[in-house]
Amino acid sequence: MIKKTTLLATAAAVTLGGFTTIASAETLRWARAGDSLTLDPHSQNEGPTHALSQQIYEPLISPDMEAKPIPALATEWSVSPDNPNVWVFKLREGVKFHEGQDFTAEDVVFSINRAKQESSDMKELLVSITDVRAVDDFTVEMETEGPNPILPNNLTNLFMMDKGWSEENDVVVPAEFDTSEETYAVRNANGTGPFKLISREPDVRTVLQRNDDYWGIGTFPMEITEIVYTPIQNAATRVAALLSGEVDMIQDVPVQDLQRVADADGLKVQNAPQNRTIFFGLNSGDDDLENDNVDGANPFADVRVRRAMNLAIDRDAIQQVVMRGQSAPTNVIIPPFVNGWNEELDAYPAADTEAAMALMQEAGYGDGFEITLHCPNDRYINDEAICQAMVGMMGRIGIQTNLVAQTKANHFPLISGKETDFYLLGWGVPTFDSEYVFNFLVHSTTDDRGSWNAARFANTDVDEMIQSLGSEVDIEKRNETIASIWEVIQEEQVYLPVHNQVLNWGMAEKIGFPVQPEDQPHFKFMTFN
């Protein structure tokens, strides 16, 4: 009989540098709706999976609690003075993996190549890398196909594994989906991160313990000695667990329970804008639409109709009624942290039904038309309710909208298969640069770009400008191009932006922890008072 009791974390009094003594043993009981899907750091490019991996594994460059890149396993990085296509990374010395192996340049080369395998879900972020090589034990060079000014942004969730450990355990490539076996890396982990894996039962409970040999002790607070992570799917149960003190922190407080948590003794709610914009897409590219009642013409192809719809959206009402104040209305499909954002783009027009009606009449649709709106009901905060509000607002300008709200597994294939003409989508920008948005949502659909452009927007000038961004090293010139692409997008009203989501974390009063815009807690920063 093996008893799975919580390991009483031994409170080792570590005396080092800035943060002197860490005397008391602090256990953090953390819950959120979904569990990590796998501990294999390159198998799934997905939020909750990365959030757990960030505690155990480390990337070269890590996002901090404001999602700004800070040095992790790399201490410095710059473009090589000899070759603009090469990035040089200086690695942190003296770092050890949890099982004792030394971290060297060889591990970086191995990990990057592992993440470039076909079965890796991270490979799209690394397509531009043609070669990665170790110059010496603590210097790595990455060569890209043409200059790639934003390569470091793509590495913030790219975790480093030990080469020897991976070979020993036969996990040199991420598992294929049609494998018949479970690979060792799915439930075991050997990283360099601030916490070590003690036990893992997927979907039930994961226990981590502070890594007392972590290089960052003294740099980060590192006050937690033990983390007990339990996914709790049901929103009411999750809130109950926080209210009853069975967990110390939950990551997704439903908007209807915010007040209750905030009012409870010893608890608080913290919020911050999330890196995710919610917007509607319209098929403006096809000659005729499948899902409308207009024969032989596409009403969305007329920019006046698109502008009329944008004017008809009452964003303030959505914010106050549907989101209970928990959203930031916007007129652009990127959140404020992203390079290319500015207040002018963000400023949204007040709802003006009359002006919208006038535009509709001008476009010849004064009597309106019928259209089907596709919407997910389990992906974004109050997604279905937003669509219901949209149906009413469109009705005011004569657009009869039939709402089809369904689960995300049914909704997203309509977008990737380009079968919908009017849909709700939310988009986050992990690279914090507009190019990412352009590549997926604005560039016309080709083999490697425009995979989410169900707006069927196609403009060869814009396509050329987008392609030029990938290798433009002159930052000023690059930003100018970004600005002129946004100008076209706004002018053409390619999308109908609604708002940026707001994240709400509920936690015990004694915890000091800001909300991270990517919904990724980095527990090494957590403090207690």
Partner 1 sequence: MISFVLRRILQSVIVLLTVGLVAFSLFRFVGDPVENLLGQERTVADIERVRDQLGLNDAFPVQYFNFIKGIVVDGNFGVSFRQGRPVADIIIERAPATLELAFVSGLFAIILGISLGVYTAINREGWISSAIMTLSLVGVSLPTFLIGILLIYVFAVELGWLPSFGRGETVQIGWWSTGFLTASGLKALILPSITLGLYQMTLIMRLVRSEMLEVLRSDYVKFARARGLSQRAIHFRHALKNTLVPVITITGLQLGSIIAFAIITETVFQWPGVGLTFINAIQFVDIPVMATYLMLISVLFVAINLIVDVLYYIVDPRLKSDASSGAN
* Positions that interact with partner 1 (CB under 8 A): 1-6, 37-38, 40, 43-46, 118, 121-122, 124-125, 175-183, 186-187, 201-205, 230-234, 236-238, 240-241, 243-246, 378, 407-410, 412-413, 416, 427, 440, 447-448, 451-452
Q: Which is nearer to partner 1, 348 or 412 (CB)?
A: 412
105 torsion bin: left (phi>0), alpha (psi -120 to 50), beta (else): alpha
> CA-to-CA distance for 120 and 50, rounded, in angstroms?
14
Q: Which is nearer to partner 1, 89 or 427 (CB)?
A: 427
* Helix, coil or strand: residue 426: strand
Q: Which is nearer to partner 1, 306 or 411 (CB)?
A: 411
- Say if residues 227 and 36 touch (Cβ distance below 8 Å): no
Q: Which is nearer to partner 1, 44 or 104 (CB)?
A: 44
CA 499 to chain centre: 16
Give Cα separations from 295 to 285, 359, 498 (angstroms): 16, 21, 29
Q: Which is nearer to partner 1, 175 or 322 (CB)?
A: 175
CB of 232 to partner 1, least distance (A): 5
Q: With b meaning 16 or more CB within 10 Å and e meaning fewer, what string describes 25-45?
A: ebbbbbbbebbbbbbbbbbbb
Q: Which is nearer to partner 1, 121 or 213 (CB)?
A: 121
CB of 266 to partner 1, least distance (A): 13
CB of 40 to partner 1, least distance (A): 8
Give Cα separations from 259 to 135, 240, 506 (angstroms): 55, 14, 11
436 torsion bin: left (phi>0), alpha (psi -120 to 50), beta (else): alpha
CB of 240 to partner 1, least distance (A): 4
Which amino acid is residue 317, in one-letter code? A
Q: Which is nearer to partner 1, 50 or 315 (CB)?
A: 50
Query: Which residues lie across from 142 on neighbouring strands?
Result: 87, 132
Q: Which is nearer to partner 1, 175 or 526 (CB)?
A: 175
- Say if residues 434 and 485 touch (Cβ distance below 8 Å): yes
Nearest 5 degrees, angle CA 64-CA 66-CA 67?
A: 60
CB of 47 to partner 1, least distance (A): 10
- Say if residues 261 and 269 touch (Cβ distance below 8 Å): yes
First-to-last CA distance in the chain?
39
Q: Which is nearer to partner 1, 270 or 406 (CB)?
A: 406
Nearest to 276 by CA among 346, 338, 335, 345: 335
Contacts of residue 1, Cβ cutoff 8 Å, sequence gap at least 6: none
> CA-to-CA distance for 363 and 519, rounded, in angstroms?
42
Nearest to 227 by CA among 240, 203, 214, 210: 210
- Say if residues 174 and 120 touch (Cβ distance below 8 Å): yes
CB of 414 to partner 1, least distance (A): 10
Q: Which is nearer to partner 1, 408 or 477 (CB)?
A: 408
Q: Which is nearer to partner 1, 142 or 175 (CB)?
A: 175
CB of 118 to partner 1, least distance (A): 7
CA 505 to chain centre: 16
> CA-to-CA distance for 403 and 29, rounded, in angstroms?
40
- Say if residues 382 and 255 touch (Cβ distance below 8 Å): yes
Q: Which is nearer to partner 1, 434 or 493 (CB)?
A: 434
Q: Which is nearer to partner 1, 182 or 354 (CB)?
A: 182
> CA-to-CA distance for 98 and 189, rounded, in angstroms?
9
CB of 1 to partner 1, least distance (A): 6
CB of 435 to partner 1, least distance (A): 13
- Read off φ and ψ for residue 344, nearest 5 degrees: -65, -40
* Helix, coil or strand: residue 477: helix
CB of 326 to partner 1, least distance (A): 23
Which amino acid is residue 438, in one-letter code? F
> CA-to-CA distance for 489 and 511, rounded, in angstroms?
43
